[in-house]
Structure 1
Amino acid sequence: MMANLQDLKKFDLNLLVIFECVYLHRSVSKAAEALFLTPSAISQSIQRLRNQLNDPLFLREGKGITPTTVADNLHIYLEDNLQQLEQTIRVVQGAPQRKNFIIYCSTFMGFEFLSPLAEKFCRQLGYELIHYDMAVAPNSAEDLLTYRKADLIIGNTPVINHSVICTPFMVAKPTLVCSKDHPRIGDSATLEDLQKEKFARITGIEEGLRQYQVKSSEAFPEREVVFQSDSPITVMSAVGQSELLGIIGERGYERFNEVFNLKRVNTQMPLPTLDFYLMYNRFALQSSAFKLLLENINQRLATLV
């Protein structure tokens, strides 16, 4: 069926692009940032589309906006068609498709899940994996995914956003460790023993990690922290070469206890677990290569659980 070009000529197709961006972000300001436009320009465009479709499209709900039924139906039709149009333009212009995936996670998560599959994955598909440490990321996970600065994130703070898929990934169980040569702490210690010691602590800018530290402090309020680092490797190294104690993940201990001269300290002190989430922009699922990347990561996770 041939498109009615005369009808299309009367319609500003840019309005559909702006609509889709607002729909996915549920925010005029975030859509403006993503499209490098002003919020005023976005609002004016949405108003023009409202007039043409005779529907409000978005309604105020608390601090955000919610789509109408017409907006939901319009999104369903646009989701695949805009992607196909973008691919068509790339082919016509001869522009090469992006051949890398940008992944944010902690250094240890990268070590566990990305390093084993990087060479195999890249050799099979010709893609490059680019890893950044989430512990020192300048933006939140939500901003990184919403503005397509990251393809996938394994982090401690779940993202609640219509354009982002967020699923539980794994639960890190904590363990208390010290140097094998510690002069006072043996294989077990009482709370009274621990209150006399000094600690190293893993830090980070993620809200989920900050909340975890609050829970840890509530579980062990008398702990005296004298060294902090956003690198688990640095904390393990510091503990193994000093009289400091530290709380690290069980898997980190199992993998690195011999390397860093660590031993587990058994105690009755209850320690909170740390949750990790797998997050990615839902548009990424339109890539078969990205789906394969997810499968590889989940297969790796299955071997570790």
Structure 2
Amino acid sequence: MNDNNPSEKRAPEHLLEDKPQIFRTLRNIDLNLLTIFEAVYVHKGIVNAAKILNLTPSAISQSIQKLRMIFPDPLFIRKGQGVTPTTYATHLHEYISQGLESILGALDLTGSYDKQRTITIGTTPSVGALVMPEIYKAIRARYPQLLLRNIPISDAENQLTQFQTDLIIDNHTYDNRAIHRHVLFTDSMELVCRQDHPLLSASLTEDTLNNAEHTLLMLEGQNLHLLRQRVQEMFPERQVSFSSYNIFTIASLIANSDVIGMMPARFYALFSHCWSLKNIPYAVLNDEKIAFSLHYNKVSLRDPILENVIDVIRDAFQNEDVAA
């Protein structure tokens, strides 16, 4: 048998798609009957099951009769003051108990952490590289059973309101009242060049900076209009010879050419480990701040697990420079 043959390893959802009668069968089964079946099986008697479920023995007996009409087996045989399961009932129990346990684990209404669960966090690639290591470390230290999934941001507001992601971290502000924002940290801006750039040994003036070739990071949809406006006032005659939506590309180009560019200080510190970069001290630009925030749907706070994850992330960045 070829393990790489996709037709031989079908995903469960494909099996369900191929067998619509499964849905019709499940529709005809009251899932409460399975709960009653488990109670009778585990407690070995109708009376005991009735006490556990706070039902009458008559109601339990009627439910068992309904199950006998569904399954081709009596399921339980009277023995003394209780009942004993048939071999078919034992077979059912193995699957039903696993199914009920899986359902309870998925619901996890109590907010317990003994079951695996995936928390989805949306970021841009660059913000993900900046914040996810710290978030991963903090969450794994507190809740090691939780799994993290980092996805790209396509339409942040829609992703949050439609519950396509649990959290989003970026530097945008959303007007939707259903979305809550918490600033994790603010960052100053740096003017960056390659380590042996001629500007580092020249007299730094407004003219020399304006005459240098600049890069431009295109941030569509980001709430940075005022910052862009102030940067334009700082460098009214700058020559932008290269622009990109990708800050990794910007950093790589700066390290391998004479162009200069602007980026948040934390990105500069991160990229300095990858490329030979140097910051150009420029107080007016360095005073500019950009905020990075955690966003989530307010309804998510009803989920105790997600609420605790939000607290862990906020705590992980509580000592960062956060603007009021």
When the two structures are superposed, what TM-score results if normalisation uses the length of structure 2?
0.57
In structure 1, give the amino acid aligned to 2:106. Answer: Q
> Is the Cα–Cα contact under 8 Å of residues 215 and 261 in structure 2 kept in the other structure?
yes
Displacement after TM superposition at 1:170 (Å): 2.1
Paired position in structure 1 for 2:291 = 275
Displacement after TM superposition at 1:292 (Å): 2.9
Paired position in structure 2 for 1:32 = none
Looking at structure 2, the residues matched to 185 and 256 of structure 1 have their Cα atoms a distance apart, in angstroms, of: 19
Identity of aligned residues (%): 22
Of residues 168, 193, 201 in structure 2, which corresponds to 1:153? Answer: 168
Alignment of 1:127-276 (within 5 A): 127-134=146-153, 137=154, 139=155, 141-186=156-201, 189-270=204-285, 272-276=288-292
When the two structures are superposed, what TM-score results if normalisation uses the length of structure 1?
0.60
The range that moved more, 116-125 or 268-277, is 116-125
Of residues 275, 281, 305 in structure 2, which corresponds to 1:289? Answer: 305
Displacement after TM superposition at 1:210 (Å): 4.9
Looking at structure 2, the residues matched to 121 and 277 of structure 1 have their Cα atoms a distance apart, in angstroms, of: 18
Alignment of 1:11-160 (within 5 A): 94=103, 97=106, 99-118=117-136, 121=139, 124-134=143-153, 137=154, 139=155, 141-160=156-175
Displacement after TM superposition at 1:105 (Å): 2.1
**Closer, same or farther: CA 94–256 of 1 in aligned 2, 3 Å:** closer
In structure 2, give the amino acid aligned to 1:200. Answer: T
In structure 2, give the amino acid aligned to 1:116. Answer: E
Q: Which runs of 4+ in 1 moved over 6 A?
A: 90-93
Gaps in structure 2 of 5+ consecutive residues? 1-98, 108-116
Displacement after TM superposition at 1:198 (Å): 0.7
Looking at structure 2, the residues matched to 105 and 188 of structure 1 have their Cα atoms a distance apart, in angstroms, of: 39
In structure 1, give the amino acid aligned to 2:240. Answer: V
Question: Match of 1:259, SS?
Answer: coil
> Is the Cα–Cα contact under 8 Å of residues 174 and 250 in structure 1 kept in the other structure?
yes
In structure 1, give the amino acid aligned to 2:150. Answer: H
Looking at structure 2, the residues matched to 117 and 155 of structure 1 have their Cα atoms a distance apart, in angstroms, of: 14
Displacement after TM superposition at 1:262 (Å): 1.0
In structure 2, give the amino acid aligned to 1:235. Answer: I
**Closer, same or farther: CA 233–159 of 1 in aligned 2, 3 Å:** same
> Is the Cα–Cα contact under 8 Å of residues 156 and 274 in structure 1 kept in the other structure?
yes
**Closer, same or farther: CA 95–213 of 1 in aligned 2, 3 Å:** farther
Question: Match of 1:165, SS?
Answer: strand
Q: What is the root-mean-square deviation in Å for CA atoms of aligned residues?
A: 2.9
For each residue in 1:90-115, what CA deviation from the matched residue of structure 2 results, as whole angstroms up to 9, or x when unmatched?
97993862822221223333223222
**Closer, same or farther: CA 289–213 of 1 in aligned 2, 3 Å:** same
**Closer, same or farther: CA 298–225 of 1 in aligned 2, 3 Å:** same
Of structures 1 and 2, the larger Rg is shown by 2
Displacement after TM superposition at 1:174 (Å): 0.1
Looking at structure 1, the residues matched to 176 and 271 of structure 2 have their Cα atoms a distance apart, in angstroms, of: 36
